[in-house]
Structure 1
Amino acid sequence: MSAESIFNQKLQPYIRYADLLHFQQWITPPRIITDYMLLYVQNGSFRLRVEGEQYEVKQGQFIFVQPGIVHQMESQSQLTLLSLHLELFPYLAENRPEMIVPVDQGYNPDAVAMQPNLKAYADIAIPYVLKLPRHEWMLESLQQAIAHWNRKNALDFLQAQVHAAEMVLEILKEYTTDITTEHNRSTSLNWVPAYMQYRLAEPLTVEEMAHKALMSRSYFSMHFRAQFGMAPHQYLLKLRLDYATELLRSTALPLQDIADSCGFSSVHHFSKMYKLRFGCPPSQIRRKS
């Protein structure tokens, strides 16, 4: 099993198909899907055959089928399903594959483009038949997603995607492990430079940024250095001095005001840090400008 964590992935739920389905009889050949399928049995029941197992899916149950898994479904009586096909990961290719691919003698799984199977990640295991603590909420969300998606206008389409994202979050919360461990969280810190720039005048600390990243100070500092090539406090100082240079060249603000705007405790501290980096005092930059 891969040691890769689902928490380090970019997730972007996107509905491909949503509908309320009615069958007098439902028998599918062996097949795979290229995305993720969420079904709710509103009326009736059916038999799901998958990976050598057989499940009797009854009224009131949710099932979740993942990409690339050969499965077959059969019902000999009337059946009503709420059906949702969705992607979890951004799809980058120009054309999406068919949602459902029959499995025959010429089937080549490597030739079919599909979403990743979540079994590739070490910290998530979703069963075929779901048991969710907020069952009624999940049903209402699925009904709302289907209703909005089928209205076929931009605002309803967007609302349907919101419902899909909330349902995906509910499933992931229920079936992921060690969700609070910092090593399972994304180590991407691309948001930090913007966070720093908006707070240059504030006494920003490494502890505060680590807390926002849900990491310990040492873990945050390690990953920040790996991503940006310097310690967080050094990067923050660089941003402050670069902004100070911009103010020196483009405004007539007094040095005290510039020091305050860039988060320095005093003009003396500002001038000292500026000279250490640029080799000249800030007043010299002002004269040149």
Structure 2
Amino acid sequence: MITKNDIYDITKEKFCPYAGAPSPAFIPLSAGITYEDPHYHVRRFNGDHYVFEYVLNGSGYVEINGKTVRLDAGDAYILCPCTYHNYYSDPRTPWRKVWFNGQGDLIAHLMNDYQLNDNCYIRGGDAKGKYLLQILETIEKEPIHCINELALLLHHHIVSFSEVHNGELLTASCGLLMKNFIEQRLTGELSMEEIAAHVHLSVSRATHLFKEEYNVTPYRYYLSRRLEIAQNLLRSTGMPIQEISKLLGFPDYRHFSNLFKRWTGISPSDFRHDSSKREDYVKSG
């Protein structure tokens, strides 16, 4: 959001606003690409939204908590609300970068969960900007009905960023590494063999360590998280059940429906119907 106190010098930028309705917890604002421009400079004196950016080419400078750092291709940064945002191109090798801006408690909770509570940056690592590019592509393709896809993609980006920023790939427990690996793959099929291979352990050993830390097996955690997302989408959106199944990467609708019923004791359509009745009851009360 631009205010009279913000100073922008932007002449070469692709700007794609989100045009749909926000949810109470998540407000996507816009995404885009900043192209090579030696005069690019943004100063935002009291930022009211989160800024997620990834440098595709070239170089630039970002003020992070009072210190100016140079960022190059492969680097990424996050700027938080209620902080001073100041970033600009290196005029000799101006950057090209992809970005996403958003607001809401969902982002705040994710940032807190993954220990990213301040303005921060990473150099290289596994955060290759693919999720920010996918966010941009999603808004371009369907700017109105994409809020759930945007929330999932942003979650993946924050997890990927956090793994590098917090050094989790080197220092975290095997259980946490498996948990983060699972969280990044909730929209597709995942086997226990793949989970165990990620931490170079046998299936039995990986299962034991994960259960010891989280009191549940890795695969059961994976299924529970996918079905938790499905329940949230059924409860809070009008997305067709077949689309929810497809979004979460289930091989077909029947497989999704059978698994959902085994897990919850109720079919997806009945779950949505019951949730709607409860909501109407609360409103009428």
TM-score bracket, shorter-length normalisation: 0.3 to 0.5
User: Structure 2-normalised TM-score?
Assistant: 0.42
Q: Which entry has the higher C-alpha Rg, 1 or 2?
A: 1
Which protein has greater RCO, CA pairs closer than 8 Å, 6+ apart? 1
